[in-house]
C-alpha cells in the first residue's frame, strides 16, 4: 500500500513539475485576442495558418510556421505591427546572400557550429543574428549583421530581443 501511495505521489509531483516548466503561460485563446489584432495579422501575413497568440508585456504576439521558418509577429498598441522575428533554424541559406557570405568568410565559420539563424524586421531596422557554439566547447556567441553583411556587433550574452531592444 505504501509503495502504491508513494508511486502515486511521485507521479503527481512529476506532472506538476513538468507543467510548471511550460512556456505556454502567456498563451491566449483566439477569443482573448481583439479582432483588430487578428485583422492586422491577416493584412500583414494573409497566408498565416495555425496561429497561436500570446501576450508579452504590452504586445500581442502571433506565432505561426511556414516550411523551414518559425514566425513571431509582434503588435503594439492599436494593433500596429512593430516587429517580426523569423527563426530559420540552422539554415543559413534562408538569409540574404550578403549575410550568409559574411558569416562564411568570418572566423566563426571555421571554429563554430551554427545553432540558430534569426531575422528581425522592426520599424527602425532589419538585422540578422547568427548564434554559434564553439566546436571546442565554451560560450555561445551571437553575431549581429546588417542586411548588407556588415557586422553590427558580436556578443556572448543571450539577449531577449523585443521591438524596443537597443541594437
pLDDT tens for the 167 residues of the chain, in order: 444 433 433 343 333 333 344 444 589 888 899 999 999 999 999 999 999 999 999 999 999 999 989 999 999 999 999 999 999 999 999 999 999 999 999 999 999 999 999 999 999 999 999 999 999 988 999 999 999 999 999 999 999 999 999 99
* Residue 11: inside a domain: no
Beta carbons of 88 and 65 less than 8 angstroms apart: no
Residue 100 and residue 69 in one domain: no
Helix (H, G, I), strand (E, B) or coil at 142: strand
Residue 68 and residue 123 in one domain: no
pLDDT of amino acid 26? 80
How far is Cα 109 from Cα 86, in angstroms, rounded to an integer? 21
Give φ, ψ of 51 to 5 degrees.
Answer: -80, 135
* Residue 41: inside a domain: yes
- Extract the C-alpha cell encoding 21: 516548466
* Residue 3: inside a domain: no
* Residue 10: inside a domain: no
How far from the centroid of its chain's Cα atoms is residue 85's Cα? 6
Residue 29 and residue 65 in one domain: yes
* Residue 12: inside a domain: no
Helices (H), the chain: 2-20, 35-44, 97-104, 108-111
pLDDT of amino acid 137? 87
Number of domains the chain is built from: 2
138 burial via Cβ count (<10 Å: 0-12, 13-18, 19+)? exposed
CATH number, domain of 38, equals 3.10.450.360
Residue 48 and residue 30 in one domain: yes
**What is the domain range of residue 133?**
88-167
Of the three residues 61, 80, 99, the one that is the final residue of a domain is 80
pLDDT of amino acid 25? 58
Residue 92 and residue 73 in one domain: no
* Residue 64: inside a domain: yes
Q: How far apart are the first and last CA of the chain?
A: 60
Residue 61 and residue 110 in one domain: no
Residue 52 and residue 98 in one domain: no
* Residue 17: inside a domain: no
* Residue 7: inside a domain: no
Give how far Cα 112 sits from Cα of 86, 89, 104, 108, 146, Å.
Answer: 22, 15, 11, 5, 20
What pTM was estimated for this model as a whole? 0.83
Amino acid at each position: 500500500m505504501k509503495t502504491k501511495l508513494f508511486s502515486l505521489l511521485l507521479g503527481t509531483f512529476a506532472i506538476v513539475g513538468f507543467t510548471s516548466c511550460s512556456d505556454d503561460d502567456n498563451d491566449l485563446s483566439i477569443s482573448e485576442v481583439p479582432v483588430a489584432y487578428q485583422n492586422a495579422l491577416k493584412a500583414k501575413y494573409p497566408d498565416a495558418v495555425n496561429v497561436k497568440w500570446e501576450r508579452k508585456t504590452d504586445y500581442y504576439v502571433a506565432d505561426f510556421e511556414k516550411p523551414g521558418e518559425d514566425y513571431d509577429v509582434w503588435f503594439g498598441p492599436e494593433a500596429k505591427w512593430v516587429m517580426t522575428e523569423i527563426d530559420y533554424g540552422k539554415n543559413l541559406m534562408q538569409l540574404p546572400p550578403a549575410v550568409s557570405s559574411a558569416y562564411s568568410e568570418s572566423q566563426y565559420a571555421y571554429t563554430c557550429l551554427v545553432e540558430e539563424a534569426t531575422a528581425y524586421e522592426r520599424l527602425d531596422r532589419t538585422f540578422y543574428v547568427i548564434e554559434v557554439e564553439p566546436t571546442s566547447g565554451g560560450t555561445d556567441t551571437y553575431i549581429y549583421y546588417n542586411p548588407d553583411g556588415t557586422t553590427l556587433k558580436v556578443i556572448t550574452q543571450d539577449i531577449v530581443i523585443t521591438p524596443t531592444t537597443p541594437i
